[in-house]
Amino acid sequence: MENINGYIEHTLLKQDAIIDDFLKLFSEAKKYNFLGVCINPEYVTFAKKELAGSDVKIVTVVGFPLGANKTETKVFEAEKAISDGADEIDMVINVTALKNKDYDFVEHDIKSVKDACKDKPLKVILETDLLDKSEIKKACELCIKAKADFVKTSTGFVKGGAGAKVEDVKLMYETVSPYGLKVKASGGIRDKETAINMINAGASRLGTSSGVQIVQG
């Protein structure tokens, strides 16, 4: 597959990352023409400076990695990240509320962050490792109602989790694509074959820290 770099959000969300790690990330993103970088909110301003003059999008995370923050906190995080220069927001769904079938709360949580994003794309991380198929489908339906732009598989932070799975990406794509939403596969995508399988299943974005290995095949 050609132009696989155009799907990749080159990701660095590790708690113990140092500044040299970020500089390497930004340099690789520019060198390989990756679609974007995905980093924690504290480093958005730094990324904006280092990526100035490039086409690399700056993606950051909200309510990360557990999704259990107050809605007001997620809204503030999104607004602050955008004012700092973020191009896109990836928020974590409230998994407890979803599992408790508190669907009004989940929809409100997502819609509140989407409203804060205004014209910036919002991706909603479902954390598919913690959900069964019916919960994944329901979460997608709530994202449609809340007018999110993407559904995303995983944070990559679930201990022992598989991350993105082809069957989950396919289910998400089949649920949301008729309504114009897209799918981001993230978590455990470490080689070109896996990346292509995710794209073939319906992903239009790939969140991975292995972008260089993927494009080098």
Cite the active site residues: 90, 152, 184
Q: How far apart are CA 47 and CA 22, in angstroms?
A: 8
- The DSSP code for 96 is H
- Do 144 and 176 touch, CB atoms closer than 8 A? yes
Tell me the torsion sign for CA atoms 143, 76, 58, 27.
Answer: negative
Best CA proximity match to 184, nearest among 200, 194, 162, 199: 199
Cα–Cα distance list, 71 to 37, 65, 83, 145, 185 (Å): 25, 14, 18, 17, 24
Other CB atoms within 10 Å distance of the CB of residue 197: 17
In sequence order, the β-bridge partners of residue 59 are: 38, 88
What is the amino acid identity at position 146? Answer: A
Q: To the nearest 10°, the Cα dihedral for 15, 150, 162, 59?
A: -20
Is there a contact between 202 and 4 (Cβ–Cβ < 8 Å)?
Answer: no
